[in-house]
Chains A and B, each alone.
Chain A
């Protein structure tokens, strides 16, 4: 045995989540009561720091019709821009009342999904740069062979967005707008609307991360 025949492993190949993805990942939406603690779309705890926001939208196919069987997850930093993860190397303590992650299924009738969360702080980029506040999002569904990764930015962070290294890295400048959520206030609540277009006009930018 010698090391010259070292072989790296191949990543397990992706397959679609299928139409019944809710059974495993959101059993309550499939009317299945199995778990005491269910994962959901509410990232807020009583003592979570930061500005409360609702993030909502729909996901559209190549005919402009909403996907009513889509599953969406988000991953984000806390209000100070720290990730509640062992892999965050900033040396700052993350908000102990924030997990940074949530999961939502679109409504079976309307295709609307939403998350209740906080607006994230700015996170360091590579080589001493600073990223604009953003939320990482991944989309799984029937017909989607490998999860689609995108990012949500905020329209009221125009200056930070203009300097964001990831947005600036998108060569086709008009496509950057597909990643910017629109702010509105509804009954005193701050709502960001973020629609995802999988295919066609104004197709959302998807990343290979």
Chain B
């Protein structure tokens, strides 16, 4: 009998991510460390993470179309977003907490600091959450967000996007990012997307139209997969503890 003993997470490939200091995204200039990050050998602190149980969640937590609806349905394009969360070695990430937030169909956020003229929707909140299943699968339903203007350069516009956050098996996997939608022409001019150094990695944030999973007379569908860091197995010395 042999039991799988897990070692550390593979190191983060910093070339696959935006650097901290990205002057084209102006806010990063005063919010990025001057010093280099200090890399550490992982301990139990970095390979552990909290557990969330399904009974903490409500039945509409992953249904942004209905979870804030008061006197009717929200206005906008009905879409389903689904996909798989895996680690870099291809293993499914089970029971991970996936949280999402977004603007409404006008590109307006339900947030005290958003003053954009685009109309609020009284029936749309803009947040949801879910746990991945045993296959790493997730699915949620929402209104496709509109693009919105922001003050970076004065006429800057974000492409339509949904923010997402993952808490999985190890603290080292903690990740926040944004997904975009196939074909949006604003993707090519967005300074936030351009903080990502490689074209392949920028493409990894684009959800693809999943036509065969459209639901007739109801909703369209996008497919979006997420990859987290993975742990190596240990077959010799185990130095983690």
Q: Which residue of the partner chain, among B19, B28, B47, contacts A87 with CB atoms under 8 Å? A: B47
Tell me whether A146 and B169 are in contact in the complex, defined as CB-CB below 8 angstroms, given that A23-B109, A209-B40 are known contacts: no
The answer to whether A208 touches B68, judged by C-beta atoms less than 8 angstroms apart, is: no
Interface string of A62-87 (1 = CB under 8 A from B): 11000101000101010000011111
Binds B, one of A50-58, A110-118, A125-133, A155-163: A125-133
A5 at the interface (CB under 8 A from B): no
Interface string of B170-196 (1 = CB under 8 A from A): 111011111000000000000011011
The answer to whether B88 touches A9, judged by C-beta atoms less than 8 angstroms apart, is: yes
The answer to whether A11 touches B88, judged by C-beta atoms less than 8 angstroms apart, is: yes
Distance (whole angstroms) from the CB of A101 to the closest CB of chain B: 4
- Rounded to whole angstroms, the CA-CA distance of A8 and B18 in the bound complex is 20
Distance (whole angstroms) from the CB of A146 to the closest CB of chain B: 5
Which B residues touch A170, using CB under 8 A?
Answer: 38
The answer to whether A206 touches B192, judged by C-beta atoms less than 8 angstroms apart, is: no
Which B residues touch A207, using CB under 8 A?
Answer: 37-40
Within 8 A of B (CB), among A116-146: 123-128, 131, 134, 136, 138, 140-146
Interface string of A18-29 (1 = CB under 8 A from B): 111111110100
| Number of residues of chain A lying within 8 A (CB) of chain B | 81
The answer to whether B31 touches A143, judged by C-beta atoms less than 8 angstroms apart, is: yes
Q: Which residue of the partner chain, among B16, B99, B195, contacts A25 with CB atoms under 8 Å? A: B99
The answer to whether B170 touches A87, judged by C-beta atoms less than 8 angstroms apart, is: yes
Which B residues touch A42, using CB under 8 A?
Answer: none
- Rounded to whole angstroms, the CA-CA distance of A16 and B10 in the bound complex is 23
Which A residues touch B89, using CB under 8 A?
Answer: 8-9
- Rounded to whole angstroms, the CA-CA distance of A4 and B112 in the bound complex is 54
The answer to whether A17 touches B176, judged by C-beta atoms less than 8 angstroms apart, is: yes
Of A90, A144, A205, chain B has the most CB atoms within 10 Å of the CB of A144
Q: Which residue of the partner chain, among A16, A99, A166, contacts B192 with CB atoms under 8 Å? A: A16
Distance (whole angstroms) from the CB of B190 to the closest CB of chain A: 10
Within 8 A of B (CB), among A182-209: 198-200, 203-209
Which B residues touch A126, using CB under 8 A?
Answer: 41, 43, 239-241
- What are the 4 closest A-B residue pairs judged by CB atoms, nearest first? A24-B101, A143-B27, A143-B31, A85-B48
Beyond A9-B89, A24-B164, 8 additional contacts (C-beta under 8 Å) are: A13-B205, A14-B175, A24-B163, A32-B127, A84-B50, A124-B43, A134-B45, A147-B176
What would 9 A/B residue contacts be, using CB atoms closer than 8 Å? A11-B17, A17-B176, A27-B127, A77-B44, A83-B45, A101-B49, A136-B171, A198-B33, A208-B11
| B residues with CB within 8 A of A | 6, 11-14, 16-20, 22, 25, 27-35, 37-51, 56-58, 61, 67-68, 86-90, 99-102, 109-114, 125-129, 163-165, 167, 169-172, 174-178, 192-193, 195-196, 200-202, 204-205, 226-229, 239-241
| A residues with CB within 8 A of B | 8-25, 27, 30-32, 34-37, 61-63, 67, 69, 73, 75, 77, 83-90, 99-101, 108, 123-128, 131, 134, 136, 138, 140-148, 151, 165-166, 169-170, 175, 198-200, 203-209
